[in-house]
């Protein structure tokens, strides 16, 4: 697994080694020791994943930008099918990079994984007909603690590669921008 820093400190990209042969391919998608080493190398605290999620969305769906106020979740995101534009926003109080975002195309082709540390908001926009997204979380889902920042907050000015009007859940539609 190769690890790359991004332009937003804390957010990391993981690129698995893919072993292709006449049958198809094989890859390790997570290895605890390598992940621990990467976090240590980039000065982050060790984490434990406690929940695995899988969602399926159609083209132009935008989910986000979500975070949990209490029990902030770190998330390790990958795409099983299709392509998304995945975005993390630093919303940690007092952070030097507060309000900055980073976006990356994740797809079944590039097999990249994005690490979104606890304290960041997260969301994605679906570019392909269908996208299946799988992610591991470091805290359990706590709906009462869930907060949402509007995907189109002018202060964030996220440069979404929109190919059509985003399809949002009702709660994402009602979200406010960053205070």
**10 or 64: CB nearest ligand TDO:** 64
Cα separations in angstroms, 174 against 9, 15, 127: 29, 35, 23
Residue 35 or 124 with smaller CB distance to ligand TDO? 124
Q: Select which of 42, 66, 71, 105 is catalytic.
A: 66
Q: Is 66 in the site for ligand TDO (CB under 6 A)?
A: yes
Using the rule CB under 6 A, is 64 a contact of ligand TDO? yes
Nearer to ligand TDO, 39 or 172 (CB): 172
* 135 belongs to the catalytic site: yes
Count of residues that bind ligand TDO according to CB under 6 A: 11
Catalytic residue among 67, 122, 125, 135: 135
| Least Cβ distance, residue 29 to ligand TDO (angstroms) | 18
Q: Which is nearer to ligand TDO, 37 or 177 (CB)?
A: 177
- The answer to whether 53 contacts ligand TDO (rule: CB under 6 A) is yes
Of these, 58, 129, 141, 173, which contacts ligand TDO (CB under 6 A)? 141
Here the tokens at position 74 are: 């770190």
The yes-or-no answer on residue 141 being catalytic is no
């Amino acid at each position: 697994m190769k690890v790359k820093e991004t332009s937003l400190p804390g957010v990391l990209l993981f690129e698995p080694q893919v072993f292709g042969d006449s049958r198809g391919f094989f890859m390790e998608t997570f290895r605890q020791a390598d992940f621990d080493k990467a976090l240590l190398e980039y000065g982050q605290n060790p984490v434990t994943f406690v929940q695995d999620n899988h969602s399926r969305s159609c083209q132009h769906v935008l989910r986000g930008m979500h975070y949990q106020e209490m029990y902030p979740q770190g998330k390790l995101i990958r795409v099983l099918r299709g392509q998304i534009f995945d975005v993390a926003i630093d919303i940690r109080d007092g952070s030097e990079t507060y309000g900055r975002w980073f976006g990356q195309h994740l797809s079944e082709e590039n097999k990249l994984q994005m690490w979104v540390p606890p304290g960041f908001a997260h969301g994605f926009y679906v570019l392909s007909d269908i996208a299946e997204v799988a992610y591991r979380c470091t805290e359990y889902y706590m709906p009462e603690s869930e907060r949402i920042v509007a995907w189109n907050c002018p202060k964030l000015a996220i440069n979404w590669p929109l190919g059509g009007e985003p399809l949002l859940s009702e709660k994402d539609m009602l979200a406010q921008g960053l205070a």
